[in-house]
Amino acid sequence: MKSKRRLLKGEKLLVDTSFLLPALGIRVEREVMEAIKCFHLFTICYLEVGVLEAMWCVMKLVPHNKLDIVERGIEAIRDSYELITPPSRAFIDAFKLYLSGHRDYIDNLMYATSRVLGIRFLTIDERFIDFLSSHGFPIDNIVSPRELA
C-alpha cells in the first residue's frame, strides 16, 4: 500500500499498539522493529487505550518477575511519545466502524482519531486496512512500516 502523500520529517504519526509492545518487553514482528528505528524522524503519538491494549498482551506474555521492565517501558512511552486525546467525533466515527463490521473498537478509535485530527496512522494490520478499503473508508491517512524506510 502506498500513501498518496510523502511522509515529512517531524510529521506526527499515531502508532497502533504493535509499536508500543517492544518498550514493554514483548517481541514483535521484524517489520515493527525496523519501523521503530525510524521513529526519531517523526513525532510519535499514541492513545492511552493503546497502552491498555498492550497491557492485555503483557498479562498473557510477561512473567510476573519482569514487570519492572513493563513499568519502565510505560514510563519511556510517556516520556518519548506524545499522548493524543481522541476528539469526541472520533469516538462516534469509531462506533460507526464497529457497526460496519470491524469489531476491534481500539483499532477503530485510533484510525478515527487520526482522520479527525488529520495525522497519519502507522499500522501493520493489513486485515484492518483491507476492511476499511473494502467498506469505502479512506486509507490515505494510513502508513505502513515499509513507507518509513
- Phi and psi dihedrals of 122, rounded to 5? -95, 120
Decide if pLDDT at 4 tops 70.
no
Average pLDDT over residues 43-62: 96
Mapped onto helix, strand or coil, the DSSP state of residue 56 is: helix
Mean of the per-residue pLDDT values for the chain?
Answer: 94
Q: To which residue does cell 498479562 refer?
A: 59
Number of Cβ within 10 Å of residue 131's Cβ equals: 18
Cα separation of 54 and 39, whole Å? 19
Average pLDDT over residues 68-75: 97
Q: To which residue does cell 491517512 refer?
A: 141
Q: Which domains does the chain have, with CATH numbers?
A: 12-147 (3.40.50.1010)
Decide if pLDDT at 142 tops 80.
yes
Question: Which pLDDT score, from 0 to 100, does residue 2 have?
Answer: 45
22-32 tens-digit pLDDT: 999 999 999 99
Cα separation of 142 and 31, whole Å? 16
Question: Which pLDDT score, from 0 to 100, does residue 6 have?
Answer: 79
Enter the C-alpha cell of residue 50: 493503546
CA-CA-CA-CA torsion sign (14, 17, 19, 20): positive
Residue 55: its H or E element: helix 48-61
Is the CB of residue 15 less than 8 Å from the CB of residue 50? yes
